[in-house]
Chains A and B, each alone.
Chain A
Amino acid sequence: MNPEKILLAHGSGGKITHRLIREVFLEAFRNELLEKLTDSAVFHVDQGKLAYTTDAYVVDPIFFPGGDIGRLAVCGTVNDLAMSGAKPLYLSAGFIIEEGFGLAELKIILRSMREAADEAGVKIICGDTKVVPKGSADKIFITTSGLGLIPAGIEISPQQIMVGDNVIISGTIGEHGIAILSQREGLKFSSNISSDVAPLNHLVASMLDVAGNGIHVLRDPTRGGVTTTLNEFVQGAAFGIKIYEDKIPIIDGVQGACELLGLDPLYVANEGKLVAVVSRDFVQAVLSSIQRNSLGVNARVIGEVVEEPKGIVSLVTRIGGTRIVGMLTGEQLPRIC
């Protein structure tokens, strides 16, 4: 028997759509809010500030070492909520599926979404599925939105950054980007590098527990890597950031792949790391709390917020030189000579 495929009819809204939703999606994500299968999920919230975010996921390949598009779609949105200091509560999930996509693959993706949601302690409470003709989309695209609650008194934003603050990275950099690249057609190379994709909300909660507003800003350095994130902080600001090459944690495999491909690991994407700018008084406490979490054992202080040069991220190289590290421009491409 041929493996079951997603058909255009699965997106028709008729009987077969309902079967797909009940037997596949609900089965994977089951919770008391989704179960009702009403037009919208209705829930109570405590008073306070809400954080709300959305992101679309189109990663290629959809399965990669360390994860898949489903895990990414949950973790990415959970992390965006967590970076504003919010406790993530609920996610929605929209699926655009190419006609002919394997039902078995879909089930694997949904299972990893459920697992990631359980890890993060969030529920997927509403969703939508569309099927498009073959060639109109590449296998599967997922959009997730997320709602989170910001605890009273927490104020995390680049405006809080002050000269003298320290910059912390929660672990080794560049693993997600290199794991994906190693699987790309025409560039396949064997490596044992896995994506770092993981939900960071518990890590953030533990940081907030020890430092509260001593944490001035948090961000997950995804596309564009650590450098692009740091540049976002300094743009138009009355301060600069100085980081030290020899303090940046990186595993040999990523360093080697970057050398080989002519990439700068500071610009390579992460999906399970955060950059924190922290008041000097709280640095040790925050660093220890990160390092106690299994996702943060390699956390390091990599630099500080400086008065001059303003608006610029500078890097002190291993041999003592200095260079300016700007925003990523265009795509990083392998060298040709």
Chain B
Amino acid sequence: MRYLDEFQNPKIAQGLIKAIEGLVDRKIVLMEVCGTHTVAIFKHGLRRLFPTSLKLLSGPGCPVCVTPTQNIDAAIWLSKQKEVVLTTFGDMMRVPGATGSLEKQRAEGADIRVVYSVLDALELAKTNPAKKVVFLGVGFETTSPSIASAIYTANHEVINNFWVYVCHKLVPPAMRALLESGEARIDGFICPGHVSTIIGSLPYEFIAGEFGVPCVISGFEPLDILQSVYMLLNQIKEKRAEVQVQYSRCVKPEGNEKALSKFNEVFEPADSNWRGIGVIPGSGLRIRQEYSRYDASLHFEVPTHQVTEEKSGCICGEILRGIATPLVCPLFGKACTPEEPVGACMVSSEGTCAAYYKDGGIIE
């Protein structure tokens, strides 16, 4: 099949794997920031093809995993308000908050609906003028432009029963926080492909410039990832630190200007709390003053929920910071499974724990 077969050519893959083996002469740690990369790496069995001294760490790039419990609790609170229809992407349904999950709340009778696009939520608002439709906005730069566009449209078409509860996050500030903490040794970053189609490659320049860590923006097919690893290893060998774009068929240095302009029209950066990491300055979004009537947290006066500690024993935070793998978690595969998740990294299909679990939990 075109565009799939070409990126899974076994001959080219074998050549790249050989070249990678030749470049690994010591322990090297690369971090794939994005959850979709984590899933792709497991799906194609790439880890088992690499030399053992090449380690891949999963980063904080799964939006479901980094949404803190107080956001989940706020969403549950919103779903209990009169006439509210809470709309959300499916992955958020089972994430445990301190006061249950949206799935449990729906079983209790709350009107919570899974949508595949924010435009479905907007449509729901249009067709149900007596309802108050709230969209739970979760995701990185990949999804936020479409949310911005929905708010923009709601404003343009004067739709007054639609709000967004914004939990959006930005990737580059989180990468800065990881590097500044110095907790995990990272020799190179496989940078997210989808996020970069929107923001471009320029926002990562500080990683190479200030911290001297090589970056490659990668696509999601096996050959994309193998080539990106090869490019990173080359930079490391030649003691270079640059931002390179492997995913050049989709990513331009300046990003998607049209999407960015909608995004900047509606949103502005704000401090944001990351599950397991804490508050990172400028790493989230809030709705600008001009559009604040669509901000669910203002309109419904969402109470600030207590910051809850992770459940005892759960090490999602350390996993998201790249300083632990699921295999050292005492709950992994025992008290915490995809059926009965304790931490968010086990809930989301893109979570590190779920990926390890799906793969039998025997990789290291």
Q: Residues of A with Cβ closer than 8 Å to B?
A: 186-187, 252, 255-256, 259, 262, 264, 312, 315-324, 326, 329-337
Contact = CB atoms under 8 A, between A and B. Distances in A.
B42 A255 contact: no
A336 B138 contact: yes
A320 B13 contact: yes
Given A321-B45, A333-B91, 20 more contacts: A317-B44, A318-B222, A319-B9, A319-B10, A319-B222, A319-B223, A319-B226, A320-B10, A320-B49, A326-B358, A326-B359, A329-B337, A329-B358, A330-B94, A332-B349, A334-B116, A336-B63, A336-B91, A337-B36, A337-B143
Nearest to B141: A337
B1 A322 contact: no
Nearest to A261: B116
Nearest to A253: B1
A329 B338 contact: yes
Interface string B88-116: 01110010000000000000000000011
B228 to A, nearest CB: 14
Contacts of A336: 63-64, 89-91, 138-139, 143
Contacts of B140: 337
Given A317-B44, A335-B350, A336-B91, A330 B143 contact: no
B4 A333 contact: no
B350 A317 contact: no
Contact of A337 (B1, B47, B63, B359): B63
Contacts of B358: 324, 326, 329
A331 B338 CA distance: 11
Contacts, number: 103
A324 B222 contact: no
Nearest to A318: B8
Contacts of A324: 358-360, 362
A317 B7 CA distance: 13
Nearest to B49: A321
15 contacts: A187-B116, A259-B4, A317-B8, A317-B43, A317-B222, A318-B10, A320-B10, A320-B13, A321-B44, A321-B49, A323-B48, A330-B94, A334-B90, A335-B36, A337-B142
A200 to B, nearest CB: 27
Contact of A321 (B36, B46, B90): B46
Contacts of B337: 329
A321 B43 CA distance: 9
Contact of A312 (B9, B120, B143, B360): B360
Nearest to A312: B360
B339 interface: yes
B14 interface: yes
Contacts of A326: 357-360
B194 interface: yes
Interface in B64-87: 64
Contact of B115 (A186, A316, A322, A337): A186
Contacts of B8: 317-319
Contact of A319 (B13, B117, B142, B338): B13
A188 to B, nearest CB: 10
A52 B117 CA distance: 44
Interface residues of B, number: 50
A320 B15 CA distance: 12
A186 B88 CA distance: 13
A334 B42 CA distance: 18
B7 to A, nearest CB: 9
Contacts of B138: 336
B151 to A, nearest CB: 18
B199 to A, nearest CB: 13
B124 to A, nearest CB: 9
A252 B223 CA distance: 20
B120 A264 contact: no
B35 interface: yes
B359 A323 contact: yes
A333 B2 CA distance: 25
Nearest to B194: A337
Nearest to B1: A252
Interface string B259-285: 000000000000000000000000000
Contact of B42 (A262, A312, A323): A323
A37 B94 CA distance: 49
Nearest to A246: B10
A13 B116 CA distance: 44
A264 B43 contact: yes
Nearest to B195: A337
Contact of A330 (B222, B339, B360): B339
Contacts of B46: 319, 321
Contacts of B223: 319
Interface in B158-185: none
A149 to B, nearest CB: 38
A37 to B, nearest CB: 42
A186 B87 CA distance: 12
Contact of A333 (B34, B42, B47, B349): B349
Nearest to A321: B45
A108 to B, nearest CB: 29
A335 B43 CA distance: 15
Contacts of A318: 8, 10, 44, 222
B349 A335 contact: yes
Chain B CB within 10 Å, residue with most, of A312, A322, A333: A333
A323 B45 contact: yes
Contacts of B349: 262, 332-333, 335
B148 to A, nearest CB: 15
Interface string B224-259: 001000000000000000000000000000000000
B45 to A, nearest CB: 2
B139 A322 contact: no
A320 B18 CA distance: 13
**Which 6 pairs from chain A and chain B are nearest by CB?**
A321-B45, A324-B360, A319-B13, A329-B338, A333-B90, A336-B89
Given A334-B116, A337-B139, A337-B350, A319 B1 contact: no
Contact of A255 (B4, B10, B14, B226): B4
Contacts of B139: 336-337
Contacts of B226: 319
A324 B63 CA distance: 25
Contacts of B49: 319-321
A320 B48 CA distance: 10
